[in-house]
Structure 1
Amino acid sequence: MTTTHIAQPMNTSLLQRFIQFPVTRVVMGIVSFLLPFLLIQAAASKFTDDKLLVKVGQLIGACVAYACYHWYALKVEKRKTPELALSGFLGEFSLGFAVGGILVCMTVATIAFLGGFQIVGTSPWSVILIPLFTHLTVGLIEEMMLRGVFFRVVQQSLGSWLALLASAVLFGAMHLVNDNISALGFANITAAGLLLAAAFMVTGRLWLCVSMHAAWNFFQDGIFSAAVSGHEARHGLFISKISGPDWLTGGAFGIEGSAIAFGIIVTATISLLMIAKQRGRIVLPYWKRAA
């Protein structure tokens, strides 16, 4: 098996050793982009009451936050940011958005085939704009936090497999406070965490997992009018009627609480992990690298 080895810089100063400590890097990395995003988000909400403009402002805030993170990595961690490399950006982002949308369509189609989902009407196309901007922003922020910072740093120390497990459990735990959470919903969100981390492993860049995450949420919310992670459902492009047992439809948590979604997510995750392994992107834990 081909493996990826992470070279660790030789640090001579006590301050730099502190900065390079994994916990420090996780905390400082998250703060470096989350703080400017929250400030711009608050400013956007104060500037206008127009919901669409607020969402556009939040998306701009996420992009500015990425630039702040890049500056932090260069000036404080003294490293480049290959996770933000723009080479292949358009192709990876487009592919991820297509894959995320296809996974939702496969889930909805299977639930519909089993009698749990029906389209009963349509809405004007403009209803997709707010969900689109919303979920692009969510994808950018959550993927930077969980894959770009947490998973990447843990992987460099503990290796790919433990990083996959830790980041997926954290992703699932973050959704335990959501309304209507169920055991199957938690399992699905945790599995989705594995899927998104696997997408990050395939390229070593954020664009594939960001767009997969955004599309997964957007197609549920903006296209099929389904609840996303327990949040209240609203009218998307297709007005839907969902009925049937919770194991099939996901109940009030949305299709992310469906057994159908679980099977599709796990299958996609295994496929991406196989690609990552073929590309030699499995990182060994530090004790095996030392040996």
Structure 2
Amino acid sequence: MLRSIRSGGLPYIIPRSEIPIKSAAEIIGKLLLTIVIVIVLLVIVLIAYFVFSGSSLMDLEAAVSDEWSIYAQMIVFTIAAFGMYALFERKRGWPLGFMQKSAALWTVRGMLAGILLMSASAALIWLLGGAEWHWIGFNRTVILSLLDGAVLYAAVAVYEEFFARGYVQGLIRYHYGSITAVVVSSILFALMHGFNPGSFESPLPMVNLWLAGVLLAVSREASGGLWLPIGLHLTWNYFQGYVYGFRVSGTDNVPSVIESTASGPVALSGGSFGVEGSFVTTIITIAGIAAVYAIYNGKKRES
């Protein structure tokens, strides 16, 4: 297949096989530019921090790992992605997914789905001997931890879904369609977590991160907006760490309602990566993807 276009008033022919290559180069270029913007903004934030706090460069490691810097990274990624969208994509007409009808209802549906899927994974790991649980309850430390976690993972859910499902998935979908967008954005989502402790303890953490990305991406396609995956992402992380006491994507344990200790083989317990390192989560996530896809197709047939 050939496509005729004009340049300087004269038509010339471009083989269609070259068009996807040009689109891929455009996508890669925009994603790299987004990362460059993120790095520049983070450097500016760190310089401002050192200037106004009076800290020295010797405190760099502590500053980067501090809670304020985590929120700063979220804000910077969001600004960079929105800036790229506003400059290059808004005129093309594809939506980021924030402006969605019945956003509150979609969020609640996502939160319920996240609770269901994470509870099923955690309970099965425990029942099969992959974790030992000790009830802690709702003491002052746990309550403060629950409140802190709600704010943290609400922010994480919004920023990661905006970046991965809103901007990246939308950008790829515009050029290549939904299936490619779901697969590729989910790979990038998994790679975003590749520096977390325990990511490569076995193949399962990266497999499950990719499947979680697929689940969230299919949820984005199914609902037509970001609020279903935002709700799902929020409670998936929150219940994993702050209720059931597992490590969330390899991060440190936090004060939780249930204290969880890994036991049994790593493939079952998830090891140092937590629930997302277990084959149980692989099965549950695949079931979740199938359920969302089936519901989505059912609604399409009804409409």
TM-score normalised according to structure 2 size: 0.71
Question: Of residues 151, 166, 170 in structure 2, which corresponds to 1:148?
Answer: 166
Residues 81-121 of structure 1 deviation map (CA, whole Å, 9 limit, x = unaligned): 46111421111111111111111111111112212333313
The DSSP-based 3-state class of the residue aligned with 1:119 is: strand
| Shift in Å, 1:206 | 0.7
Moved more, 238-247 or 207-216: 238-247
Give the number of aligned pairs. 260
Identity %: 25
The DSSP-based 3-state class of the residue aligned with 1:146 is: helix
- Tell me whether 1:257 sits opposite 2:271 in the alignment: no
Question: Of residues 206, 209, 215 in structure 1, which corresponds to 2:226?
Answer: 206
Question: Of residues 155, 166, 186 in structure 2, which corresponds to 1:168?
Answer: 186
Q: Is the 8 A contact 2:81 2:167 kept in 1?
A: no
Q: Which residue of 2 aligns with 1:289?
A: none
Q: Aligned letter for 2:101?
A: S
Question: Of residues 88, 97, 100 in structure 2, which corresponds to 1:83?
Answer: 97
RMSD: 3.7
| Shift in Å, 1:264 | 0.2
Change (3 A) 1:256 1:75: closer
Which one has more relative contact order, counting CA pairs under 8 Å at least 6 apart? 1
Distance 2:190 2:83 in 1: 30
Q: Is the 8 A contact 1:40 1:58 kept in 2?
A: no
Question: Of residues 113, 120, 124 in structure 2, which corresponds to 1:110?
Answer: 124
Question: Of residues 241, 247, 252 in structure 1, which corresponds to 2:261?
Answer: 241
Distance 1:78 1:221 in 2: 37
Distance 1:180 1:29 in 2: 27
Q: Which residue of 2 aligns with 1:220?
A: 240
Residues 213-260 of structure 1 deviation map (CA, whole Å, 9 limit, x = unaligned): 121111111111111111122221222233111111101110100111
| Shift in Å, 1:192 | 0.6
Q: Aligned letter for 1:137?
A: A
Change (3 A) 1:190 1:66: closer
Moved more, 79-88 or 182-191: 79-88
Moved more, 27-36 or 70-79: 27-36
Q: What is the 5 A alignment of 1:51-90?
A: 58=71, 62=75, 73=85, 77-79=89-91, 81=95, 83-90=97-104
| Shift in Å, 1:203 | 1.4
Q: Unpaired runs of 5+ in structure 2?
A: 1-22, 54-66
Q: Unpaired runs of 5+ in structure 1?
A: 1-17, 48-53, 282-291
Question: Of residues 157, 161, 167 in structure 2, which corresponds to 1:139?
Answer: 157
Q: Is the 8 A contact 2:186 2:210 kept in 1?
A: yes
Q: Which runs of 4+ in 1 moved over 6 A?
A: 28-47, 64-72
